[in-house]
């Protein structure tokens, strides 16, 4: 299945509750703030106790960056990395991921 990346925006940059991400359409990251990882790339975030506000011109430039990254991810057919099912100890004591 090919991943389709989109720009996702929550809240408003002027009010200090803003999140701007590039996210795989249909993933959990669409439904919630945070949850960044392999299928949700944070571009800007102003949540938490500080509630940082962004000037409108800065927010506009960050949206352009998010659009560029989104286009690059879709053009390269980038997919989220598979999540390991678990880990085991190798003979040398290191942890090795395994996938089902």
29-58: burial string, b at 16+ Cβ within 10 Å, e else = bbeeeebeeebbbbbbbbeeeeeebbeeee
What pLDDT sits at residue 22?
94
Q: What are phi and psi of 49, to 5 degrees?
A: -70, -20
Q: What is the pLDDT of residues 54-85, one digit of tens each?
A: 999 999 999 999 999 999 988 886 665 555 66
Euclidean distance between CA atoms 87 and 24, whole angstroms? 26
Residue 91 — very low, low, confident or very high, per pLDDT cuts 50/70/90? confident
Q: What is the pLDDT of residues 6-44, one digit of tens each?
A: 999 999 998 888 999 999 998 888 888 887 888 899 999
Euclidean distance between CA atoms 75 and 93, whole angstroms? 40
Residue 1 — very low, low, confident or very high, per pLDDT cuts 50/70/90? very low
């Amino acid at each position: 299945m090919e991943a389709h990346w989109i720009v996702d925006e929550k809240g408003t940059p002027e009010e200090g509750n803003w999140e701007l991400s590039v996210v795989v359409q249909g993933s959990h990251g669409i439904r919630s703030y945070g949850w960044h990882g392999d299928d949700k790339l944070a571009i800007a975030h102003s949540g938490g106790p500080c509630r940082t506000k962004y000037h409108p011109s800065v927010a506009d430039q960050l949206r352009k960056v998010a659009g560029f990254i989104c286009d690059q991810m879709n053009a390269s057919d980038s997919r989220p990395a598979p999540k390991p099912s678990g880990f085991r100890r190798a003979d040398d004591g290191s942890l090795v991921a395994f996938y089902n």
